Structure 1
Amino acid sequence: MWLKLTIVMLLALIVISLFSGLFFLMKDTDGRGRLVTALSVRISLTILLMGLIAWGFWSGNLVWNTPWLH
Structure 2
Amino acid sequence: MWLKIIILLLFAGVLLSLSSGLRFLLKDAGVPESKRTLYALGIRILLATVMMLCVFYGFYSGILSSTAPWDASL
TM normalised by structure 1 equals 0.91
Alignment of 1:39-58 (within 5 A): 39-58=41-60
RMSD: 1.3
Sequence identity of aligned pairs in percent?
Answer: 43
Q: Where is the helix percentage greater, Structure 1 or Structure 2?
A: 1
Aligned amino acid, residue 25 of structure 2: L
- C-alpha change, 1:35 and 1:63, in structure 2 (3 Å) is same
Query: Structure 1 segments of 4 or more deviating over 6 A?
Result: none
Please give the alpha-carbon distance, in whole angstroms, between the structure 1 residues aligned to 2:64 and 2:54: 10
Unmatched 5+ residue regions in structure 1?
A: none
Extract unaligned runs of 5+ from structure 2: none
Amino acid at match of 1:43: I
| Number of residue pairs matched by the alignment | 70
* Equivalent residue, structure 2, for 1:13: 13
Q: 2:4 is paired with a residue of what secondary structure?
A: helix
Following superposition, the deviation at residue 32 of structure 1 comes to 2.3
> Normalised by the size of structure 2, how large is the TM-score?
0.86
